[in-house]
A and B are shown apart, each in its own frame.
Chain A
Amino acid sequence: MTAARSAAPTRLRLTVASTKPLTEEVRQLTLVPRDGTPLPSHPPGSHLGLIWQNAPERVNSYSLTGDGDSPAAYTVSVLRVPDGGGGSPWAHALRPGDEIDAVPPRSTFPPAARARRHLLVAGGIGITPLLSHARWHLRWGGDFILYYAHKPGRAAHLDELRSLCGDRLRAHHDRESLWADLGPALRRQPLGTQLYVCGPLSMIDAVAAAAQSSHWAASRVRSEAFGAPADGPREPFVVTRADGREIHVSAAETLLEALERSGAVVPSLCRSGVCGECRTPLAGGLADHRDLVLSPAEKASGRWIMPCVSRAAGEELELAL
């Protein structure tokens, strides 16, 4: 059931201008406005939500790879995930002339405005937002180094990065050589350097841990996870809404799905604990937080829950919704 919204959300009406395979698994889409209206600018590292199914609406977010300044077109690079929700095979099947609606760019991973240097670390398809960062730094003269760990022969954007970045690019195709390069570099950066990591969760954790052991301040490290957070076992529980109604959440569904079934209006986008769109106030009960959005302090405060992935830690939960 699609939830009615109080105000029609903004949607961009786009047309596929071209598609291009970058590797066997990654396809680049170039999207232009359908009616000629200029596309919104965006900070580097933003993502665009491609709506690949209506009723119920399903949105896949892809990092925009341009620098974001007055773009004539949006480009995204889509990794095919055969066992995912179905969005990436849909994107791979798109052909020039196909029409797409999209959620406008959202910024969750921007460059730090006042950093003296930017150390960018990408793993696999996690290169996409950092390609956007690199272009922006090249445009505005920012000091950056880009570490790109990829599988041999399967590196999206590698040739383009080589010609853009020259010796600021450090490409590695195994873990050992990445760490032999990056590990010492984390201890030799000028004060004021900001670190950015995008890639699989395991890589983000490893880089964050290495930075922490080199005493980088926590605010110096920004990351964006590609890939959903680990799911846990699903137990049924009961959730009470602000009006006193009780909703039973079965083991087979998410809290968000149960809320939507009951008619609640909960904005959502990624439905995988990453984007933060469905943040909902908690009124009582202990949550089992499974998202990547809330900070440890926010999780401990008991004030918020991301119903797309998080559940009750016990048998009951109360929402201020």
Chain B
Amino acid sequence: MTDAARPNEPDDTRLRWTSVPRWPAPELPAAASYLACCFGAAGERQASALLEAADREVPVRTETFADHWDAATEPALRRLIEESFTGVRVILAGPEAMVMRAAALARRLGATSEELVLMAADAVSGAAGGGYVTGRAARRVFCVACRAPFDAVAALNDSVTCPGCAATLAVDRRFSRPQAAYFGWPTGLELHQ
């Protein structure tokens, strides 16, 4: 596909006005304890680099998971979060798709944004405000036709096929944090007004 065929090719300036997750350099907040949930080796490296700034007195628990979501991920994460005490800061590091999905689970279990530190290993470091995951990457896409999420590998604005209803969807620059997914809109249905 040529650039001319993709006039909406996102750049960092445009993405600032969308809900695409932005990834500024994280800071380690003070805490009573830390729980680091790392997805893949890259996530593990990121989390351990961040935790070098931690106070030596503060207990740290680090758990490493695969870099893709499987049947074991949710129960294991759920157990770790449910066993945590108020005062913990939960560090989630790894591919954006995993980090956002884990963050959505943590919020459902009662964590607030103040208690979460999120780091995307696949974000392209951008301007001062932080980078984005713009290229081809693992992404969760929410099909607005059949209202179900699925996993895809795609860049923003790419076309993907929904495994549920076979619709051809464009990966939108709108991201739902509770669904941890990009909206996927059926293509070829543009409104003409």
Residues of A bordering B, CB below 8 Å: 114-116, 186-193, 214-220
B85 within 8 A of A: yes
**Does the CB pair A191–B114 fall under 8 Å?**
no
Residues of B bordering A, CB below 8 Å: 30-32, 81-82, 84-90, 109-112, 114-115
In the complex, what residues of B have CB within 8 A of residue A187's CB? 32, 85, 87
**Does the CB pair A189–B85 fall under 8 Å?**
yes
* Contact A193:B86 (CB < 8 A) given known A187-B32, A215-B30, A215-B32: yes
Q: Which of B88, B112, B114 has the most CB of A within 10 A?
A: B112
Bound CA–CA A89/B85 (angstroms): 45
The contact sample of 22 A-B pairs, CB cut-off 8 A, is A116-B110, A186-B86, A187-B32, A187-B87, A190-B84, A190-B86, A191-B84, A191-B85, A191-B86, A191-B88, A191-B90, A191-B109, A191-B111, A191-B115, A192-B109, A215-B87, A215-B88, A215-B89, A217-B112, A217-B115, A219-B112, A220-B112
Interchain CB contact (< 8 A) of B110 among A186, A188, A192: A192
Bound CA–CA A118/B54 (angstroms): 29
Bound CA–CA A280/B31 (angstroms): 38
Interface of B is mostly: loop
**Does the CB pair B112–A189 fall under 8 Å?**
no
In the complex, what residues of B have CB within 8 A of residue A189's CB? 85-86
Q: Smallest CB–CB gap between A116 and chain B, Å?
A: 4
Q: Smallest CB–CB gap between B1 and chain A, Å?
A: 43
In the complex, what residues of B have CB within 8 A of residue A114's CB? 110
Residue of B nearest to A214 (CB): B87
Q: Smallest CB–CB gap between A220 and chain B, Å?
A: 7
Q: Smallest CB–CB gap between A128 and chain B, Å?
A: 26
* Contact A219:B114 (CB < 8 A) given known A187-B32, A191-B109: yes
Q: Which of A189, A190, A191, A220 has the most CB of B within 10 A?
A: A191
Residue of B nearest to A115 (CB): B110
Bound CA–CA A299/B90 (angstroms): 32
